[in-house]
A and B are shown apart, each in its own frame.
Chain A
């Protein structure tokens, strides 16, 4: 990896973390559980990493099996996380 691309990644990391802190402090405590399960689903973004890792190899190797495992786990995370968050948020009603 070149130094330039590393610097860009660090830029992204710092700015996104800062933005994250700003936005998440504004989430009301009532929604902390959905926030957590929702962010859980977002961390399933490793699915993209898993896809890239799996596709780099077209033949059966250890690398590919690891990638496929990561893909299944990350999909559970994403689908389950969003579905349960939606189920929870649906319950928050004001009467």
Chain B
């Protein structure tokens, strides 16, 4: 029987690995996701069959409840809310790992009354720490993303000292937890501390840094699963957990590189605040406005267009009307593309999903490195809801807080139109000198409304 379940777990592991491999090609990706889901089914069914389960009804009803909630949420969620959903699910994963760890601890100490060996104890404590941090950290990220808590970084004096003190005490109490296993007090303190650390490490992180945090929490949820695998001596948990852990870490690294910041710098937080104070001494810039009709005429006269989307496009839900704009342009034989910055949006790849939802072919979505040389030969660039990722200060002004961050060279195009609600700073709180450039025109108003008007003007031409 154990051989059978081990083989089933092996099969599940292979399916997970093949699933991720297929994600490497856009056309095979859906098949990959399906394989991975089958792998999960194999692992679950095998576990259910092999275990001598006394309360099959209970287990079945738990899975029914969870499955219904998950399915409902997956169907209902808007594509703009995907970062929130991922944050929330990461949190659930963390809490589940915490639950398994505690369950195992109480089983051994209170029910079976056996000694927990050092390796097992370390696994349980690691699972409590990572699971707890993932849970509360993700919840804070979720609240920040859906706007229930301000996206501004929350910092206070002595924050880092407090975090350090908490971590040291965690280690000390971990030792007590091992030495006095039958006393439930110590493990309870550990849980509380882990939950607290999770909150404390995410509150100082600002809205624009969310892609990094979500990627990191994603990685943590994988590591938590790994730790659970060590508790239960279970290979499939370790394989799946390490795949997720690796995926989250790679995305974290990509996001950090795209912002030219180190992970420590992001985690220590408070970025937006220092920036806001520094930006005021910059020279005031003179901007030029453009109206809807002129914009339509401009679009009618050019031969190449690149759109730079940002989080503001998602907020205004402007992606569908941008597709209509694309159709109008393509009818006129205008070359129309999208330039995607790695940190545009609130999670890695966020813009691609939004544009795919608006029925825009994915071969039109070009990554930063691939498109940056094309800007000087482009007639018109339309920037919708993006700011920091096109701020030339990142190249030219060593004083700027975003200096050194790789940006889209939109300013090099012949004409740049910026669709923006009003004059204001980007999410990093940085003044954008691009708006004062001679080739830059500002199209003020809600992106969805103004672009809708531009499209209807173009239809009449």
Name A residues whose Cβ lies closer than 8 Å to a Cβ of B.
1, 5-6, 8-9, 12-13, 16-17, 19-21, 23-58, 61-64, 66-95
A-B interface pairs (CB < 8 A), number: 372
Contact A42 B244 (CB under 8 A): yes
Listed A/B pairs (28) with beta-carbon separation below 8 Å? A13-B226, A16-B243, A20-B244, A24-B247, A30-B365, A31-B352, A35-B20, A36-B251, A37-B85, A40-B89, A42-B222, A42-B244, A43-B93, A43-B218, A45-B236, A48-B43, A49-B237, A50-B100, A50-B103, A57-B107, A68-B59, A70-B96, A71-B96, A73-B93, A78-B44, A82-B33, A92-B26, A93-B356
Contact B24 A72 (CB under 8 A): no
Please judge, given known A-B contacts A76-B70, A79-B70, whether A20 and B349 are in contact too, CB under 8 Å. Answer: no
Contact code string B360-372 (vs A, CB < 8 Å = 1, else 0): 0111010100000
Which of A39, A75, A95 has its CB near the most chain B CB atoms (within 10 A)?
A: A39
Residues of A within 8 A of B20 (CB): 20, 23-24, 27, 35, 38-39
Instruction: Name the prevailing secondary structure of the A interface residues.
Output: helix
Contact A79 B93 (CB under 8 A): no
Residues of B within 8 A of A31 (CB): 23, 26, 29, 349, 352
B399 within 8 A of A: no
Task: Pick from B75-83, B175-183, B417-425 the stretch touching chain A.
Answer: B75-83
Residues of B within 8 A of A70 (CB): 95-100, 103
Contact A48 B236 (CB under 8 A): yes
Residues of A within 8 A of B251 (CB): 32, 35-36
Interface size class of B (residues with CB under 8 A): 35 or more
Contact B228 A46 (CB under 8 A): yes
Contact A73 B92 (CB under 8 A): yes
Task: Pick from B47-55, B273-281, B305-313 the stretch touching chain A.
Answer: B47-55
Contact B235 A30 (CB under 8 A): no
Residues of B within 8 A of A41 (CB): 36-37, 40, 89
Chain A nearest CB from B337 CB (Å) reads 14
Contact A79 B67 (CB under 8 A): yes
Give A23 to B22 CA distance when docked, in angstroms: 9
Give A68 to B342 CA distance when docked, in angstroms: 39
Contact A24 B250 (CB under 8 A): yes
Give A25 to B253 CA distance when docked, in angstroms: 11
Name B residues whose Cβ lies closer than 8 Å to a Cβ of A.
13, 16-17, 19-21, 23-24, 26-27, 29-30, 32-34, 36-37, 40, 43-44, 47-48, 51-55, 58-59, 62-63, 65-67, 69-71, 73-75, 77, 79, 82, 85-86, 89-90, 92-93, 95-100, 102-104, 106-107, 110-111, 117, 119-120, 214-215, 218, 221-222, 224-226, 228-251, 254, 340, 342, 347-350, 352-353, 356-357, 359, 361-363, 365, 367
Of the residues A16, A28, A94, contact of B239 by C-beta under 8 Å: A16
Nearest B residue to A81 by beta-carbon distance? B89
Residues of B within 8 A of A58 (CB): 54-55
Please judge, given known A-B contacts A31-B352, A51-B48, A67-B99, whether A43 and B240 are in contact too, CB under 8 Å. Answer: yes
Contact B52 A55 (CB under 8 A): yes
Please judge, given known A-B contacts A16-B242, A37-B85, A82-B36, whether A42 and B16 are in contact too, CB under 8 Å. Answer: yes
Contact B93 A44 (CB under 8 A): yes
Give A74 to B92 CA distance when docked, in angstroms: 7
Give A33 to B102 CA distance when docked, in angstroms: 32
For the complex with contacts A38-B36, A39-B20, A72-B63, 16 further pairs of A-B residues with Cβ separation under 8 Å are A16-B239, A29-B349, A29-B367, A31-B29, A33-B348, A35-B348, A40-B90, A42-B243, A46-B225, A69-B95, A70-B97, A74-B93, A75-B67, A77-B66, A81-B74, A81-B89
